[in-house]
Amino acid sequence: GDSVTQMEGPVTLSEEAFLTINCTYTATGYPSLFWYVQYPGEGLQLLLKATKADDKGSNKGFEATYRKETTSFHLEKGSVQVSDSAVYFCALVASGGSYIPTFGRGTSLIVHP
* Closer of 64 and 104 to other proteins (Cβ): 104
* Closer of 51 and 85 to other proteins (Cβ): 51
Chain Cα centroid distance, residue 101? 13
Determine contact, residues 89/23, Cβ cutoff 8 Å: no
What is the smallest separation between the CB atom of 104 and other proteins, expressed in angstroms? 8
Considering only CA atoms, which of 72, 65, 57 is closest in space to residue 26?
72
What is the smallest separation between the CB atom of 17 and other proteins, expressed in angstroms? 26
86-93 vs 102-103, strand pairing mode: antiparallel
What is the smallest separation between the CB atom of 113 and other proteins, expressed in angstroms? 27
Residues that bind other proteins (CB under 8 A): 32, 34, 36, 41-46, 49, 51, 89, 93, 98-101, 103-106
